[in-house]
Amino acid sequence: MGALQVLFNAVTVIFIAVTMFAAGLATPLSALRAVLTDVPLLLLALAANLVVVPLLGWGLAALFALPVAGFVGLVMVASSPGGPFGAKLSMVQKGDVVAGTAMQVLLAAVASLTFGPTASGILTAAKVGEGISLDVAALVRTVAILQLVPFAVGLVVRHYAPSAARSWHPAAGVVSNVTFLMVLTGMLLGSWRDVVALLGSRTLLAGLVLAVAAFAAGTLLATGPSPRRTTMGGIAAVRNVGPPLAAIGIAFGDEQAVLGALAAVLISGLAAALPIAAVLGRDRGDGTA
């Protein structure tokens, strides 16, 4: 079992680092600059993803009276914006793909610094369980290294060697997708009893409601035409699994109950966000913003 845990941790590290490297390879500096200089959009997106959605997660966890593992899983997911699948949702809904991708990687980079304090602050204020304490400094350091450094390297390659970035990006994307599936499978297999126990539970329902509420919040707290606003909604609805996984490894010793709750929340969130994006894409026909 120890060897399997080491393998799971190694695949998780590869997933986080390669995903952010691929994001850097795919992000032109001009796209990042456009997002950074659109101050109203930037401020609203930061408020939605770093303040509103974490508070929604806290509120829903309290409203549904979730058990400790479910409470922790939901709060950590809500506190971790910038999920790579958010950029894919912008394609599914025929939204503003360039702005969506740039905002996704920006949020992932910012959240590498804010996730630890946000999740720790909410769990401390909520007084969930006994002895739960996130080592914020260690978590920020770990997540920042795993996310910011690979993203910066990819961004530099994209800027100074665009042909290399274009040739490397497909392979990096495949590795990211495969390792994501491996991580999700590992979470499900390693804690399948906990996941099965959650079927029909309030934790799954809370994860689904959080995704829908985050989609609405991200859409409302955005500027521009409808495709751009719903793209920001999709970005807000899909959270980044990397920081929560790092937190579980650091603070909870890879506790299976928390891993199971995290997997359940992520799956229910995707199950809610994907159909919304698909309906939007169908209504937009072949026109892409």
Q: What is the pLDDT along the chain (289 residues), one digit of tens a residue?
A: 467 667 777 887 888 788 878 878 888 888 888 888 999 999 999 999 999 999 999 999 999 999 888 899 999 999 999 887 787 788 789 888 888 888 888 898 888 889 988 998 999 899 876 555 666 677 777 777 877 888 889 989 998 999 999 999 999 888 888 887 887 777 667 655 655 556 667 888 899 999 999 999 999 999 999 999 999 999 999 898 878 887 877 766 656 778 888 888 888 888 899 899 889 988 876 544 4
Percent of residues in the chain assigned helix, strand, coil, to nearest 5: 85, 0, 15
CATH class of 2-282: mainly alpha
Q: Report the SS3 class of residue 40.
A: helix
At 288 the pLDDT is: 45
Tokens found for residue 60: 């829903």
Residue 45: the pLDDT is 95
Q: What amino acid is encoded at 264 in this protein?
A: A
Give the tokens for residue 24. Answer: 């850097």
pLDDT of residue 52: 97
- The pLDDT of residue 168 is 93
Cα 29 to Cα 33, 36, 63, 156, 185, distances in angstroms: 6, 10, 42, 9, 34
Predicted local distance difference test score (pLDDT) of residue 289: 45
Nearest-CA neighbor of 152 among 114, 113, 106?
106
- pLDDT (0 to 100) of residue 253: 60
pTM of the complete model beyond 0.85: no
Q: Please state the domain extents for the chain.
A: 2-282
